[in-house]
Amino acid sequence: MAQNKTRVVVAGGGTAGWLTAFSLVTRLGNVLDITLVESDQIGTVGVGEATIPTMCNFHRLMGIDEREFMAATNATFKLGIQFNNWANQGDSYIHSFGEIGQRSWMAEFHEFWMEAVANGQQDSLDEYCLELKAARQNKFATKVGNKALNFAYHLDATAYAGYLRAKSEAAGVKRCEGKIKTVDIDPQSGNLTGLGLDSDLYIKGDVFIDCTGFRGLLISEHLDVGYEDWSHWLAADRAIAVQTASVEPAKPYTIATAHKAGWQWRIPLQSRVGNGIVYSSQFLSDEEALATLKSNLQGEILTEPRYLKFKTGRRQKAWHKNCIAIGLASGFLEPLESTSIHLVTTALIRLMKLFPFTAEHELLAEQYNRETQKELETIRDFIVLHYHLTQRDDSDFWNHYRTMEIPEPLAHRMAIFAQNGYVWPDDVSLFRVDSWVQVMMGQGLRPAQHHGASRMLPTANLQQQLAAFKQSINSVLNQLPSHSEFIAQYCPAN
Ligand code: FAD
């Protein structure tokens, strides 16, 4: 019955707002009454087009049809990120979403490979990862026989919000267009009670989700929750984005090219390419950044440059009173590993598990905030690794990152890998052993030693096993169509 429903007000209609509205109506629609407010005049951040594989699971949980979603959002597949010029100018490696070699519980695959290399084998660790090799050869299929590839998507952010909006409205979400002008708070409880729009509409609610982007209109401007600034570790505070025409078939990976004082992304969609430069205003002016971006583009520029400002860090409490900040309102890490939309999805899963159906929700909020903090700190450290683990000394920017003090858990992780080759997955199960190995080795950190278990087999047997594994990867690889052939038959853009 309608009067028993908890009234949820989602403030903001970017990717975070519409993902929130859609997820809540899909999974809790019978017990929630959902209204979303967005302002066409303010608009959305308009970037955020590369994802990580968790997105596929989230879509499955929410019942999103992959082919329909991809066709609607001009999407392509993503098997990883190619990092150019990070350890040194001219170098390149791919952080892929694939597993390298075979899992074994005591020592990791890279340690067996290191043992073979120590005994004269001459190949690269990359040879043992299907997704990485497929990326290099521009090949793709969601699966071959019973071998499923691990992948994510590149998508058009504006089309994605539109796609989710249509689905949300069809499922019963009410949308109100207008600027939020007033925010009312109950003086006794400190809870939010309603939002007044410039159109004179007034929306009452029990639970408010702040998806208003960087400003955090509810959580920050009205509830005064502070921001933990991480710019001493992640100095980037500006970005400029432009779209270009495609000049080649879309590659199944993102490219992140480091520059003198920042880095540039290239995200290929079916019919255009998203590009942008991320930089720190401390080290680079907007004019220089734009010039650098433009001099590294391929294809005709289709849009005016979009300038964005941000501060890396996290909202001290993502959930305060009856307000939960999701998306950019809850904090922002670098877009380097495409983790922001992922963080929206994990926030939504957490919120649905801990949803405040009653007024007694302080403990739920505390748990939510603890989990959110842990998750952000873990991802932060993985991103810091890319900047810190460099030999570049060609600018103040790289000298800053190379020599800065890093968070202790990251320093420990790097030290143990350098000395012993030991790696473990991160605390929130996002970046697995393979991710840490690919980035640490990709950026030039070679362990001095590796696990003795790798010497249990005679060298010839080890080499035979590695050769057989490589062979099995190549036989799958040979069956894969090109990325663009696969898209053309599976999910061509509408
Ligand atoms: P926004 O898109 O800013 O939406 C805010 C909404 O709030 C808008 O609808 C706006 O109209 C509304 N609003 C604000 N104030 C009011 C008001 N007063 N009244 C009414 N409505 C209001 N993420 C990834 O996962 N992958 C990437 O590759 C990636 N790249 C990025 C690159 C850059 C440079 C940046 C800055 C971010 C990137 N992100 C990326 C992050 C990603 O863009 C965001 O996480 C995602 O778009 C969600 O944004 P949002 O919905 O929180 O905010």
Are the C-beta atoms of 65 and 118 separated by less than 8 Å?
no
- 103 Cα–ligand 1 center, Å: 38
Residue 13 annotated as binding? yes
- Which atom of ligand 1 lies nearest, measured to the CA of 308? 36
Asked which of 5-9, 88-92, 429-433 is least confident by mean pLDDT, the reply is 429-433
**pLDDT confidence tier of residue 268, bands split at 50, 70 and 90:** very high
CA distance 313 to 233: 9
Rounded to the nearest 5°, which phi and psi values hold at 336? -55, -40
Q: Look up the CATH architecture of domain 2-75+155-228+313-378.
A: 3-Layer(bba) Sandwich (3.50)
Catalytic-residue membership of 78? yes
Tell which phi-psi region holds residue 271, choosing left (phi > 0), alpha (psi between -120 and 50) or beta: alpha
The per-residue pLDDT for 202 is: 98
- 216 Cα–ligand 1 center, Å: 11
CA distance 363 to 172: 30
Could you report the per-residue pLDDT of 138-156, keeping only the tens digit for each? 999 999 999 999 999 999 9
Could you report the per-residue pLDDT of 339-386, keeping only the tens digit for each? 999 999 999 999 999 999 999 999 999 999 999 999 999 999 999 999
In the numeric block, the tokens 């950026």 are attached to: 443
Helix and strand element counts for the chain (H, E):
14, 23
CA distance 405 to 389: 12
Helices 362-388, 408-420: inter-axial angle, 10-degree rounding = 50
- 304 Cα–ligand 1 center, Å: 18
**pLDDT confidence tier of residue 4, bands split at 50, 70 and 90:** confident
CA distance 292 to 304: 15
Q: Look up residue 375 and give its amino acid.
A: E
CA distance 438 to 101: 12
**Kindly report the CA angle at 338 between 332 and 344, in degrees rounded to 5?**
60
Name the pTM for this structure.
Answer: 0.97
Residue 16 annotated as binding? yes
The per-residue pLDDT for 1 is: 43
| Cα 314 from chain centroid (whole Å) | 15
CA distance 59 to 345: 9
Residue 14 annotated as binding? yes
Could you report the per-residue pLDDT of 387-427, keeping only the tens digit for each? 999 999 999 999 999 999 999 999 999 999 999 999 999 88
Are the C-beta atoms of 213 and 12 separated by less than 8 Å?
yes
Please enumerate in sequence order all residues whose Cβ is within 8 A of that of 96, keeping only pairs 6 or more positions apart, or say none.
79, 80, 129, 131, 132, 135, 253, 434, 438
Question: Which residues are near ligand 1 (CB < 6 Å)?
Answer: 12-17, 37-39, 42-45, 47-51, 157, 179-180, 211-213, 217, 239, 276, 278, 308, 310, 327-329, 335, 338, 340-341
Q: Where are the beta strands (DSSP E) in 56-191?
A: 76-78, 80-84, 92-96, 143-144, 147-148, 152-154, 174-177, 180-185
Please enumerate in sequence order all residues whose Cβ is within 8 A of that of 122, keeping only pairs 6 or more positions apart, or say none.
none
Q: What is the ipTM of this complex?
A: 0.99
Catalytic residue among 5, 78, 133, 204: 78
Q: How many CB atoms lie within 10 A of CB 192?
A: 26
- 373 Cα–ligand 1 center, Å: 20
| Cα 59 from chain centroid (whole Å) | 15
**pLDDT confidence tier of residue 29, bands split at 50, 70 and 90:** very high
Percent of the chain scored above 90 by pLDDT?
97
Structure tokens at 381: 């450290």
Could you report the per-residue pLDDT of 30-63, keeping only the tens digit for each? 999 999 999 999 999 999 999 999 999 999 999 9
The per-residue pLDDT for 3 is: 58
- 51 Cα–ligand 1 center, Å: 14
Ligand 1 atom 6: residue of nearest CA: 12
**Local structure of 78: helix, strand or coil:** strand
Specify burial of residue 127 (Cβ count, 10 A radius: 0-12, 13-18, 19+): middle
The per-residue pLDDT for 133 is: 98
Question: Which of 164, 293, 340, 346 has most ligand 1 atoms within 8 Å of CB, for mutation?
Answer: 340
Are the C-beta atoms of 23 and 348 separated by less than 8 Å?
yes
Please enumerate in sequence order all residues whose Cβ is within 8 A of that of 76, keeping only pairs 6 or more positions apart, or say none.
153, 154, 250, 252, 268, 269, 270, 483, 487
Are the C-beta atoms of 409 and 425 separated by less than 8 Å?
no
- Which atom of ligand 1 lies nearest, measured to the CA of 310? 36
Provide mean pLDDT across the span 18-32.
Answer: 98
- Pairing verdict, β 174-177 and 254-259: unpaired
- Give me the half-sphere count of Cα atoms (radius 13 Å) on the Cβ side of residue 434: 21
Q: Look up residue 39 and give its amino acid.
A: S
Provide mean pLDDT across the span 222-240.
Answer: 97
**What is the chain's mean pLDDT, rounded?**
97
Helices (H), 304-458: 340-353, 362-388, 396-403, 408-420, 433-442
Could you report the per-residue pLDDT of 449-460, keeping only the tens digit for each? 999 999 999 999
**Local structure of 478: helix, strand or coil:** helix
Residue 337 annotated as binding? yes
**Domain ranges in the chain?**
2-75+155-228+313-378, 100-147+384-479
Please enumerate in sequence order all residues whose Cβ is within 8 A of that of 454, keeping only pairs 6 or more positions apart, or say none.
107, 111, 112, 114, 115, 462
In the numeric block, the tokens 């599976």 are attached to: 490
In the chain the first and final C-alpha atoms are separated, in Å, by 38
- Which atom of ligand 1 lies nearest, measured to the CA of 278? 34
Could you report the per-residue pLDDT of 67-117, keeping only the tens digit for each? 999 999 999 999 999 999 999 999 999 999 999 998 889 999 999 999 999
